[in-house]
Amino acid sequence: MHSRPTAGLQGEHILAVEGLTKRFLTRDGALLAVERVSFGVKPGEFLSVIGPSGCGKSTLFNVIGGLTGGYEGSVTVAGETVNGPHPAIGMIFQEESTFPWRTVLENVCFPLELVNMPKAQRHEKARHFISLVGLDGFEQRYPAELSGGMRQRVAMARTLVSEPRILLMDEPFAALDEQTRLLLGDKVLQIQQQLKQTTLLITHNITEAVQLSDRILVMTYRPGRVKRIVDIKLPRPRTSEIVGSAEFGLAVAAVWNDLREEASRGMRESENAARAERKT
Amino acid sequence: MNTASFALARALPPIVGFALFIAAAIAVEGLLRLGVINRFIVPLPSEVAASFGRLFAEEHLLARFLTTCRECLYAMALLTILGIGAGAVLHRMPLLRRACETPIAALASAPIVLMYPLFLVVFGRSATTIVVMGLIAGLPPVILKTIEGLSGTRRVLINVGRSFNLTPRQMFVKVMFPAAVPTIFVGLRLGLIFALINIVGVEFLINFGGLGQLINDLAERYDLAGMYAAISFVVLVSVLFFVITERIERWFSQAA
């Protein structure tokens, strides 16, 4: 990992993305996934990135997480350039990512084993984070014995146990039903408030973004650019009860106003592409 | 579910399986006694059961059984080391993998047992010939399933490993291998079946070793009941190794 001093968005931001552009080579030529994306996340802040399908949200997740290279611009964590997976960034994936051959406790212990923490100590620490995500009593269960929401909480505990400075989540509740999603949102809020965890959430769900975030970055349809950053001024601490408030509705409407045009454009272009493919 | 009903639920399948086996034996006995099945081809199950005592006392059935078990054990150990090792190496080297995959798959369907004269020349009329022929017959499924298992590791699990900055060795030991264990064990079981068939077949052909040689001797003496009893012990070897691989798989999965 190389570090170099950079200026601009850093300073008060623990995570800074500056002028990020990423192209992919496809059979139809170069595809511009994201273009000149710049933003910063302050310590303890919850920032969501929202955009229509195909706007490069997952590309952004992979670049910030250090899983994808070959981009223009820079990603820095506390002034240190990210050139690969950074120890300060903990990632939670959209797909089911628990290790099926490990129990809940063993899954959560995984990062602690890598740093050779003594068994008793790592069990104690893992149990604390299992409790934090509300899975007490399930330590000896295997992921196959748990629901989708519980498995995502195991993945969350496994990431949190390594105490990352930044939590990076890629649509972690996308595969879950709406009620579970709202309740897990409560859990995330509670954890974020308790740990003062800096969090960057990639999502396409407006209510989820408004429920959880301090700010929401709205992206344009392909190529993904920053369209606007919306401040969510809802009071904290929050719970899912807030979804019934008028302020919540206004915030959702404000984000949707920005997103609607992009989502419509995305839908139109997808349909045109499908038509063109059928013709050829 | 209380302890007693849990124990009953666990014991019921083998009890039902045994009862079905007894029922099938009784049915065959009846068909033989009624003359529906020719008694010169199939012996009475009661005669087969009665012959066990004679086989243990006069034909050293237990020693023969243990000889075949030992040969299978050696073949299994070599299959595990060489098969999984070769599969892992081929998975790491895509060019070599593409070059070798088809010939290895073709080897799986080749009648290797017919090559026994060549192996007799190389290793002599010995247990080594039997084990090596079993090993060669069993290798293809183990290699191919190891490659399949490692290649089939879900992308997200590899990304989890990458997000924790795993070294290539840690990635293999902690993520890819455990993820591939169920597929690798399918290959090991298939390999063991091929190995056992070849081990008993070569014992039969070269008239050396354990149960295969005994079956050959009894067939030449036209001792049908004894021969079927000896064959049932070959099935027992298969069951034994199946149970062993199942236990090892469970242990591996939990240890990873």
Residues A26 and A142 in one domain: no
Q: Is residue A49 part of a domain?
A: yes
Question: Is B116 exposed, middle or buried, given 0-12, 13-18 or 19+ CB atoms closer than 10 A?
Answer: middle
Please tell me whether residues A21 and A150 are part of one structural domain.
no
- Check residue A186 and give its pLDDT: 86
Residue with the two structure tokens 């920053």:
A226
Cβ atoms of residues B71 and B211 within 8 Å: no
Residue-number span of the structural domain to which A124 is assigned:
93-163
Based on the domain organization, do A19 and A137 belong to the same domain? no
Q: Is residue A78 part of a domain?
A: yes
Tell me which residue in B156, B170, B179 faces A114 most closely, judged by beta carbons: B170
B164, A111: Cβ pair inside 8 Å?
yes
Contact B159 A114 (CB under 8 A): no
Beta carbons of B159 and A99 less than 8 Å apart: no
The CA distance from A84 to the nearest CA of chain B, in Å, is: 9
Could you say which of A163, A183, A217 is where a domain stops? A163
B132-147 confidence digits (pLDDT tens): 999 999 999 999 999 9
Least Cα separation, residue B256 to chain A (angstroms):
7
- Structural domains counted in chain A: 2
- Chain B CB contacts of A162 under 8 Å are 164
pLDDT band at B1 (very low <50, low <70, confident <90, very high): low
Q: Is residue A240 part of a domain?
A: no
Sign, CA torsion A30/A33/A38/A41: negative
ipTM of the complex: 0.88
Q: What is the pLDDT of residues B99-155, one digit of tens each?
A: 999 999 998 888 888 889 999 999 999 999 999 999 999 999 999 999 999 999 999
Grade residue B8 by pLDDT with cuts at 50, 70 and 90: confident
B69 at A interface, C-beta within 8 A? no
Given an 8 Å threshold on Cβ–Cβ distance, is B157 in contact with A99? yes
Higher pLDDT residue, B73 or B255? Answer: B73
Query: Tokens representing A131?
Result: 């409790």
> Does residue A202 fall inside a structural domain?
yes
A interface with B, Cβ–Cβ below 8 Å: 65-67, 84-85, 87, 89-91, 93, 95-97, 99-102, 110-111, 113-114, 159, 162
The shortest C-alpha distance from B37 to chain A (Å) reads: 49
Q: What is the pLDDT of residues B49-73, one digit of tens each?
A: 999 999 999 989 999 999 999 999 9
Are both A38 and A78 inside the same structural domain?
yes
Domain endpoint, select from A163, A194, A210: A163
Question: Do A13 and A80 have their domain in common?
Answer: yes
B65 φ/ψ sector (left φ>0, alpha ψ -120 to 50, else beta): alpha
Q: Are residues A81 and A196 in the same domain?
A: yes
Reported as half-sphere exposure (CB side, CA atoms, 13 A), residue B24 has a value of 6
Taking the C-alpha atoms of residue A161 and residue B135, their distance in angstroms, rounded to an integer, is 46
**A83 and A169 belong to one structural domain:** yes
Shared domain check, A72 and A56: yes
Q: pLDDT tens across B219-250, in order?
A: 999 999 999 999 999 999 988 988 888 888 88
Contact A67 B162 (CB under 8 A): yes
Q: Do A140 and A11 share a structural domain?
A: no
Give the predicted TM-score (pTM) of the model.
Answer: 0.82
Q: Are A80 and A61 members of one domain?
A: yes
Residue A136 domain-assigned (yes or no): yes
Chain B residue nearest residue A160, CA to CA: B164
B178 with A97: Cβ contact below 8 A = no
**Is beta strand A89-92 parallel, antiparallel or unpaired with respect to A166-170?**
parallel
* Domain C-terminal end among A214, A233, A252: A233
Among A85, A87, A90, select the one facing B162 at the smallest CB separation.
A85
pLDDT of residue A31: 87
Which of B164, B183, B184 is most worth mutating to test chain A (most A CB atoms within 10 A of its CB)? B164
Q: Locate tokens 């014992």: which residue?
A: B203
pLDDT along chain A (280 residues), means of 10: 44 90 86 92 94 88 93 92 92 94 96 95 95 92 92 94 93 83 85 88 92 93 90 88 90 90 81 75
Look at B159 and A87 and tell me if their CB atoms are within 8 Å: no
Q: Do B160 and A102 touch (CB under 8 A)?
A: no
Domain check: are A218 and A97 in the same one? no
Q: What is the nearest CA distance from B82 to chain A, expressed in angstroms?
A: 24
pLDDT at residue number A2: 34
Q: Spell out which residues of chain B touch residue A90, defining contact as CB-CB under 8 Å.
A: 163
- A174 in a structural domain: yes
Q: Looking at the structure, tell me whether residues A169 and A80 fall in a common domain.
A: yes
B-chain residues within 8 Å CB-CB of A85?
162-165
CATH of the domain at A224: 3.40.50.300
Residue of B nearest to A102 (CA): B254
Please indicate if any CB of chain A lies within 8 Å of the CB of B179.
yes
In-domain check, residue A185: yes
Specify if A199 maps to a domain.
yes
Binary contact (B163, A101; C-beta < 8 A): no
Interface test with A, best of B157, B160, B254 (most A CBs within 10 A): B160
Tokens read off for B19: 């009862």
Neighbours of B145 (CB within 10 A): 24
Contacts of A102 in chain B (CB under 8 A): 256
CA angle B237, B238, B243 (to 5 degrees): 100
Q: Are B181 and B249 in contact (CB under 8 A)?
A: yes
